[in-house]
Every structure is written in structure tokens, then in C-alpha cells.
Amino acid sequence: MFEHTFIGLDVHAVNVVGHALNPDTGEINKHTMGADPAMVLEWIRRLEAPVKVVYESGPTGFVLARYLRAAGIDCVIAASSKLLRAPGDRIKTDRRDARALAEMLAVGSVTEVRIPDPEEEALRDLSRLRSGSATDLAHARQHVNAILLRHGIRYPNETRWTKEHGLWLHRQRFTEPALQFTYETDVEQAELLAGHLKRIDKQVAATAAACRYTSVIEALMCLRGIQITTAFGLAVEIGDWTRFTGSSIGSYLGLVPSENSSGQSRHQGPITKAGNTYARKQTGEGGSPPGRRGARRPQHRRRAPLLPGRLPPSHRPSGIWRTGWAWIRPGSTAPARAARSPGPTWSTPPPRGRPPGGCGPRLGRGGWPRNSASSCPPSAAPARTAP
């Protein structure tokens, strides 16, 4: 639909500054009103229809946008990180911000933010509550560790924050009354936050099992390193996954590299971190550390058929299999060459260690020799004959 009036709103907690622009007539209408959505709707209806409204994303949320949409007004929210600002503009007022939004909306340069429904926003708040509580717990425990470290007290065992460690913390005493009170208060705070986080985790598990994103959460949990809290956070933060492709979701999460290129020079720096902060944090927590093989749930495990003469997938390196004495990668020409010198094959993984009799190479993972040289003692080594 062709809009006759474009309206920019600078929304605050107390008041709203509006700027209406009609490109056909050049008419401009400015107005300052209270932050009541009903008052904003009353002012918008005085203008020539049809209208389109925009305001900047911020702490005021989506209440005004939902109210205007329910009343039949086309309202969008502009991404604050995508707004165009002149580098030399050093004057910022509410009226200027409202006018800039209206002008950007008129020329179609507004990057819209997806407006979630109240249920989706409630699930998102629960996920962010869990993230904030985990951060608070980590800070409280760090305070306890810092006090003990400053006074030369070290826990004798390696694993901390267990039941045994909690009893050890309560046995520590200091001579200064003020220090003792501070220490006990920090320990109490850490214990309260730990219990608070457990209650939140239970609520997250119950909510994830009965919300609209249950199927998405179960699918994400099939990935290595993702548990229910991470899957729940990713599902509710991203919401509609069909909005993205494999190349665009990285930009939304701020995981694409930054770039500063000009002319023939091209320089890429660290990731932009310009996307959804909470979703990006969930992806970092769900990533498995390098060099470790994550466990897969039995109900989601897919067994590859075992072919004759090949080791089971769990007993050979990923993407590499062995024929004879050569490691072969898929797609290489080595299988034809290695087939001329066939080596041992097993249908089940052989035992590790030396073969019976103590002579021969030591067998490593998958039953293959750890090195090509023989490990026989000199007395048992076969005699060598001259050619």
C-alpha cells in the first residue's frame, strides 16, 4: 500500500516525540505527548491516512508497536545498530531523532526488527534470567575465592563447589570480626544463588518440554555440546529460523569477521559481535572444545553399516580409513595402490598392546601398529639376508 504519511517516534519512558512527514505536500507535523499508547494512537489518527509508523528499538520494548498494530496501524521498529547517522552531526535531540526516523522510513532505508508475540517474549525473558543468574553465581563464587586467596588459604582438593567443599568453606575462620562477617556473607550469597539457579533450571526444563519450540529444542540437542538450557536459549532467541540461511545467520549472531578494506588492500579483523548478544553467548557455550569427542544420545545415534574389511567408525579417525598399511582419505587414489598389499581387517576392534608372544609392533587405537618399525627384541628379530 502507498503511504501518504510517514511518522517517526522517539519513544521514552515518560514522553513520546512524534514527527509526521507527507512527501507529496511537504507538510510536517510535530507533537510531544505522554508515553500512553492511547494518546499516541489518538494523535496518529488525526493525520492523513494511510500512515506508517517507526520508532527505534530500545528499553521500551514492543508494547507500543503491538498496540498500534492491533488498532490497524502499520508500525515497525528500526534496528538501532543500523540507523544512518552523519559523522559530522554533533547535535542530538528528541525532535531530530524523530525527524531522522521519519525521513529514513520515507526513503525505505529502515532495517526492521522482528516483533515477537507476548508468549515468545516471555520465553526469552526466562532464558535471559537464567543467563544472568549464572553470571551472578560465577561472580559470587569468585568473591569467595578471592578472599581466601588474599589470605593464603587454599583448598587441598582439585574439585571445588561440591558438598565437601561447602563444608570446608564453613570451617574457615578469621581473626578480624569484619573480615569474618564479609566472608560468611559472600559464602551465603553464593549458596543462595546456587539454589536460585537450580530452581530456574527446573523451570526451564519444564517449560522447554511444553512450549511451541519443543521440537526445535529437541533437534538442537542432537548437536554435540548442546544441552537443554543452551538449546532453549537458542530456540527462543532466534525464534523463526526460516528467516535465515546458512550464510545470513552468522551475521545475525555477530560471528562474521569485521573488515576494513579500501582500494587494493583488504583487511579482516575479529568477529563483529554486532548481533544478538545472548544467542551468540549460547553458541559459545554450546561449542565443544577442540580435540574432544562429544557423546551422542542413544535415541539420536545413527549407525553406519559396517562393510567387510573395514573398522567400525568409533575405532578409526574421522574421515580416514585404512587398507593394508596406508592411511587413506576418501577421494584419493591410494585405495587401488594399497589393495595390492592387504593388511589385517577386523569385524570387532582388536585388543591393544603387543600380540601374543611379546613380539611385534604395539597395537594402538583400532588395532593398528603405533609405528612402522618392529618392536621385537634383538634376540627374536628375524635374520636379515643380503640381496
**pLDDT digits over 319-339, tens only?**
444 444 344 444 444 444 444
Residues 60 and 143 in one domain: no
- Structural domain total, the chain: 3
Q: How confident is the model at residue 281 (pLDDT cuts 50, 70, 90)?
A: confident
Of 86, 107, 128, which residue sits at a domain end? 107
Q: Is 203 in the same domain as 225?
A: no
**SS3 of 14-32:** CEEEEEEEECCCCEEEEEE
pTM over 0.85? The answer is no
Least confident of 42-56, 91-105, 294-308: 294-308
Burial class for 98, CB neighbours closer than 10 Å (0-12, 13-18, 19+): buried
Both 222 and 202 in one domain: the answer is no
Same domain, 62 and 91: yes
Mean pLDDT, residues 33-61: 94
224 and 131 in a common domain: no
For residues 298-311, average pLDDT: 44
28 shares a domain with 76 = yes
Give the pLDDT confidence of 168-215 residue by residue, as tens digits: 999 999 999 999 999 999 999 999 999 999 999 999 999 999 999 999
Parent domain of 66: 5-107
- Look up the CATH number of the domain holding residue 91: 3.30.420.40
**Is the residue at 329 inside a domain?**
no
CA dist 68 → 63, 103, 120, 243, 295 (Å) = 9, 20, 19, 24, 49
pLDDT at 363: 52
Angle (CA) 86-87-88 rounded to 5° is 90
CA–CA gap between residue 188 and residue 182 (Å, rounded):
10
Whole-number Å distance between alpha carbons of 370 and 355: 13
Domain boundary residue, one of 107, 135, 160: 107
Q: How is residue 224 written as a grid cell?
A: 554435540
- Cα–Cα dist 10/94, whole Å: 6
